């Protein structure tokens, strides 16, 4: 039986492999947000800690997203790739199927164990902070895409 975690792991692998198929900065940023949300869901379903997945989102998007944006704006890939993007998508789909089959035996956590660390009001606060952070990163990427020569 295929579990939800194995489906999420195959989607994470697929979104990670899509970094090979494209070279545009905004596409990288969208893939990063999607892979972060998928990894947060994996952490939540495996460990059962909602606060840990939110911290993972903050660190993952906050750190890696800024690195992707500024490095790709500073030194973009100006040379075209030597392989077809269909080949990259085919490799991604094959890897996703392999990861789906290999992770089908992972069990889900049945108990929410973070009740002593994060109550309901703090959870809503973390969700609002994450939404604000995502909105800020979208504004940053929109600003950076308008004027690509400005680095400071």
Domain ranges of the chain: 4-146
Q: What is the pLDDT of residue 78?
A: 61
pLDDT tens over the chain, length 152 residues? 467 888 888 888 888 777 777 767 777 778 888 888 888 888 778 777 666 667 767 777 677 667 666 666 666 656 555 555 566 666 666 666 766 666 555 555 555 555 555 566 666 666 776 777 777 777 767 766 665 555 55
Spatial separation of the C-alpha atoms in residues 111 and 94, rounded to whole Å? 33
Looking at residue 1, what is its pLDDT?
Answer: 46
Q: Quick one: pLDDT at residue 35?
A: 82
> Model-level pTM?
0.50
Q: What is the pLDDT of residue 86?
A: 61
């Amino acid at each position: 039986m295929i579990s939800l975690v194995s489906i999420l792991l195959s989607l994470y692998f697929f979104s990670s492999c899509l970094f090979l198929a494209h070279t545009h900065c905004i596409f990288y940023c969208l893939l990063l947000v999607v892979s972060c949300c998928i990894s947060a869901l994996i952490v939540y379903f495996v460990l059962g800690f909602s606060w840990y997945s939110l911290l993972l989102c903050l660190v993952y998007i906050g750190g890696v997203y800024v690195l992707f944006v500024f490095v790709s704006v500073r030194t973009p890939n100006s040379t075209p790739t030597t392989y077809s993007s269909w080949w990259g998508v085919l490799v991604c789909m094959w890897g996703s199927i392999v990861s789906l089959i290999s992770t089908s035996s992972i069990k889900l956590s049945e108990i929410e164990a973070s009740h002593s660390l994060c109550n309901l009001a703090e959870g809503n606060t973390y969700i609002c902070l994450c939404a604000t952070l995502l909105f800020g990163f979208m504004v940053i990427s929109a600003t950076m895409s308008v004027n690509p020569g400005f680095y400071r």
